Amino acid sequence: MTQLNPKEFLANLELASSKFKIEKSYQINALQRAVESEEEGNNQAFVNDKSLISFVSNVNGQNRQDILNSTLLAQLAANKKYPNEDQMLNWYDTYIEVLQKTGWNIENKQISNFSSTDSVFEMENVIIDILATALGGTMINVIKETLKAFKGLSESDGKIIAFEKNTHSLSKGSFQMGIADETNDAVTINMGFFYLSTENQINRILFFKSARDKTNLK
């Protein structure tokens, strides 16, 4: 079968609208403020539909824009094809497929069930534990900074409202958290996909807490 080139693929790609429409991605940083541009030379983090993407300082501005645009495109295409919460694993496959067909080389992907060893499940700690294993010390410090800044935002902040509306219902949710780097003009992004279902109500998904036996996470 002849494969479509990226332009033909994009021309035929159907996209969903974001549940909470925003004109641009939102940035968060240590100052907890929104800005309109991608700033080279600084660590930054952006809310991008249901993703929270961090950039280390050496990623240039154009590459930051390209990463935000391509991951948003993949999310909206997956949202269109698999809009239901029970289809999140199919959603993830479509997300990866769109990235591959628009130029990204996917080195590895895998899905596993997470088992907490603590009696209380804390999403923030789970994110750090999982990504620390995958990324190592330097990168996980950027993730911790991002979580700390996000946690400090008011619940009425537009970034919080957009992210929460796009990521979960009362008892199910999914989001991505990733970090981008650039070395010798090669851009890489490590992304964690989290799919949560629980017997309790989800408010702020990144900081959700529950008894271990009431929550499942992939």
pLDDT over 90 at 75, yes or no: yes
The verdict on residue 196 lying in a domain is yes
The verdict on residue 13 lying in a domain is yes
Using pLDDT thresholds of 50, 70 and 90, give the confidence band for residue 18.
low
pLDDT over 70 at 160, yes or no: yes
Domain that holds residue 36: 6-217
Using pLDDT thresholds of 50, 70 and 90, give the confidence band for residue 52.
very high
Using pLDDT thresholds of 50, 70 and 90, give the confidence band for residue 31.
very low
**What is the four-CA torsion angle of 126, 131, 133, 135, rounded to 10 degrees?**
-160
Report the predicted TM-score, pTM, of the whole model to 2 decimal places: 0.85
Q: What is the pLDDT of residues 81-118, one digit of tens each?
A: 999 988 999 999 999 999 999 989 998 888 888 877 78
Q: What angle, rounded to 10 degrees, do the helices at 61-81 and 88-101 form?
A: 140
Query: Do 108 and 91 contact (CB within 8 A), yes or no?
Result: no
Q: How far apart are CA 149 and CA 135, in angstroms?
A: 20
pLDDT over 50 at 27, yes or no: yes
Q: What is the pLDDT of residue 36?
A: 42
pLDDT over 50 at 24, yes or no: no
Looking at the structure of the chain, the number of domains it has is 1
Judged on CB neighbours under 10 Å (0-12, 13-18, 19+), 13 is middle
Q: What is the pLDDT of residue 37?
A: 52
Q: pLDDT > 90: what percent of the chain? A: 52
Query: What is the DSSP track for the chain?
Result: -PPPPHHHHHHT---PPPSS--SSPEEE-TT----SSPPTTS-EEEEETTEEEEE-TTS-HHHHHHHHHHHHHHHHHHHHH--SGGGHHHHHHHHHHHHHHTT----------B--SSSEEEHHHHHHHHHHHHH-HHHHHHHHHHHHHHHTS-TTSHHHHHHHHHHB-SSEEEEEEEEEEEETTEEEEEEEEEEEEESSPPSSGGG-EEEGGGEEE-
Using pLDDT thresholds of 50, 70 and 90, give the confidence band for residue 34.
very low
The verdict on residue 1 lying in a domain is no
Task: Give the pLDDT mean for 29-39.
Answer: 42
**Least confident window among 35-44, 74-83, 129-138:** 35-44
pLDDT over 90 at 19, yes or no: no
Q: What is the pLDDT of residues 164-209, one digit of tens each?
A: 999 999 999 999 999 999 999 899 999 999 999 999 999 999 999 9
pLDDT over 80 at 1, yes or no: no
Task: Give the pLDDT mean for 128-149.
Answer: 87
Q: What is the pLDDT of residue 39?
A: 64
Q: What is the pLDDT of residue 194?
A: 95
The verdict on residue 46 lying in a domain is yes
Q: What is the pLDDT of residue 119?
A: 86
